[in-house]
Amino acid sequence: MLYGINEITGMTETYSIESKELTKKFGTFTAVDNITFQVNRGEIFGFLGANGAGKSTAIRMFCGLLTPSGGKARVAGFDVFTEREKIKQNIGYMSQRFSLYEDLTPIENIKFYGGIYGLSKQQIKKRTESLIDQLGLQKVRNTLVGSLPLGWKQKLAFSVALVHDPGIVFLDEPTGGVDPVTRREFWEMIYEAAKTGTTVFVTTHYMDEAEYCDRISIMVDGRIEALGTPAELKTQFDAITMEDVFLKLARPEH
Amino acid sequence: MILVRDIEKKYGDVVALKKTSFEIQKGEIFGLIGPDGAGKTTLIRILTTLILPDSGSSEVMGYDVVNDFKKLRSKIGYMPGKFSLYMDLTVEENLELFASIFGTTVEENYELIRDIYEQIEPFKKRRAGNLSGGMKQKLALSCAMIHRPEVIFLDEPTTGVDAVSRKEFWQMLKKLKAHGITILVSTPYMDEAGMCDRVALIQNGSIFTIAPPDQIVSDFGRHLYSIRASKRGDLIHDLRNYQFTHSVFIFGDSIHYTEKRKTTDIKALHQYLENKKYTEVEIEQIEPSIEDCFMELMK
């Protein structure tokens, strides 16, 4: 894992994401409004919010795809204003629309992404074998991805996002539409990745999945209105489930 | 209102829908619940006359979906998964277009969609492409209802929509039901089953069961326990290795557990976990959710 040195403290970064008053405006509309928070290394961080709350805009800034209008943020030790290319090289990303090549096999997909991230031939070989092994993809290693069931594709997409051993991986609604058993198997993979020190930044519309995170933030109208462990948030909002917390925040009139 | 007899559909070698038969009564909210690739869209497309079944027959409002497709199309409402709105027309223009296609006017049937449309009316001059997901969903429903259909087919109307908007959408469906409209709705969200009169649980082209949600729950057939303890991550593995375990699934902040044995020996389970050095062990019998039932049926 590559981490930069903080220019102010001269220390190795301890946070995977450090956001200070980060803001994005589109014309007169403020999509992300002064968000400040940190994500610890190895943490599973749930990034929640209603549609249109500003989650996607924030994620695009953290992934180096969009320049912020103001504030500061570092991701994997790199600055979101000046080191966007470095960020892209040092993070993993997976969305519900898996970026896999359907007419390639799992092995070929891993090799291809390994090449894109600049891994050496030897590294690619080693990484491919260990990923195929870890994910239990041996049986389908030479099957075209297009003919694999959704659950397998999802596991493969996750491993491809981790192919260059990034310090942090962004998962944007990774479990949408997946059956309940596969959804849980996927979360076990997330736990495994976090155990080995990978930071996981995840969005979801399944409120039970919010409970699986170490900490959660909830965005409302561009701002982070709640931040804490699931237990803390339930206490703070006097709620039994995370769904109640979410409802209270996103539609206070209810 | 809807009659399905031995409907079957293949795409090449892939069986999208195995032989399926069921009926839906007038005024029912019928949920088709299952993950992506289960066959939900295939079934809806057959019932809305958009694709032909390989075998079997089906009637909607007394019309055969194959032979009477022309008549049927003007009578049903359909909201496809990717909302069929014209993104470069405004909210108002979309609604007017759908009304005129079906030979009616917005005014004539406004009463039916008033509750839904009023929520997006402030934005009626905005292009549909610039609406949020929740607003698009409301407009698409208004458009599907503007010709006052007696039956509507909604294909995953709440997919990708946040928990709050999903709740609001189901409240709208309840109101349409009160107007006597029959609703067939598909969803991958198991927690929406409770809002339906009856549901079909579907995966890999076959329907496990069709019943009212509370009956599915009472048919679960096992005692279900919610377990909490320190060190949740390892708890799953240790419970899986317990000799009497039938199923172990993580569920929000606890773990759902069933035993192979008819009667669960709670004391023995407590003892097992305490021997494994868990503290704060809580074991509580709970009512299964539809998701518990779905996973049991998948076994």
User: For A142-195, how does the pLDDT look when each residue is reduced to its tens digit (9 = 90+)?
Assistant: 899 988 888 888 889 998 999 999 999 999 989 888 889 999 999 988 988 898
* Residue B61: both structure tokens together: 């409002």
Query: Which one of 3.40.630.30, 3.20.20.80, 3.40.50.300, 3.30.930.10 gives the CATH number of domain A42-53+91-250?
Result: 3.40.50.300
Work out the widest C-alpha separation in chain B, in whole angstroms: 73
CA distance B114 to chain A (A): 21
What number is the average pLDDT over the span A91-106? 88
Give residue A100's identity as a one-letter amino acid code.
L
- Local confidence band at A254 (pLDDT 50, 70, 90 cut-offs): very low
Residue numbers in A near B160 (CB within 8 A) = 51, 96, 173, 176, 205
CA distance A177 to chain B (A): 5
B235-266 pLDDT, tens digit each: 888 999 999 999 999 988 899 999 998 888 89
B90-128 pLDDT, tens digit each: 999 999 999 999 999 999 999 999 988 998 999 999 999
Q: Do B162 and A149 touch (CB under 8 A)?
A: no
> Bridge-partner residues for B209, per DSSP?
B201
Q: Which of B159, B162, B252 is opposite residue A177, by nearest beta carbon?
A: B159
Residue numbers in A near B133 (CB within 8 A) = 51-52
Q: Which of residues 50-69 of A touch B (CB under 8 A)?
A: 50-52
* pTM (predicted TM-score): 0.86
Taking CA atoms, B193 is separated from A85, A108, B170, B190, B201, in Å, by: 45, 40, 11, 6, 9
Delimit the domains of chain A by residue range.
42-53+91-250
Interface test with A, best of B159, B162, B186 (most A CBs within 10 A): B162
* Residue A183: both structure tokens together: 């959804």
Q: Do A176 and B250 touch (CB under 8 A)?
A: no
Residue numbers in A near B165 (CB within 8 A) = 50-51
CB B129 within 8 A of CB B87: yes
Fold of B224-298: Alpha-Beta Plaits (3.30.70)
List all residues 6 or more positions away from B271 whose beta carbon is below 8 Å from its beta carbon. none
Compute how many other C-beta atoms are within 10 angstroms of the C-beta atom of residue B98.
23
List all residues 6 or more positions away from B282 whose beta carbon is below 8 Å from its beta carbon. B226, B227, B228, B229
Taking CA atoms, A96 is separated from A99, B104, B131, B159, in Å, by: 9, 39, 21, 12
Considering the segment(s) B2-212 as one domain, its CATH architecture is 3-Layer(aba) Sandwich (3.40)
Partner A contacted by B215 (CB < 8 A)? no
Sign of the CA dihedral with A172 first, then A190, B203, and A145 last: positive
Partner A contacted by B295 (CB < 8 A)? yes
Residue with tokens 């979410």: A246
Q: How many whole angstroms separate alpha carbon B258 and alpha carbon A59?
A: 39
Task: Assign A243 to helix, strand or coil.
Answer: helix
pLDDT of B170 above 90:
yes
Interface test with B, best of A173, A191, A208 (most B CBs within 10 A): A208
Query: Of B257, B196, B199, B258, whose CA–CA distance to B228 is shortest?
Result: B257
CA distance B200 to chain A (A): 15
Q: Do B162 and A177 touch (CB under 8 A)?
A: no
Q: What integer best gives the mean pLDDT of chain A? A: 89
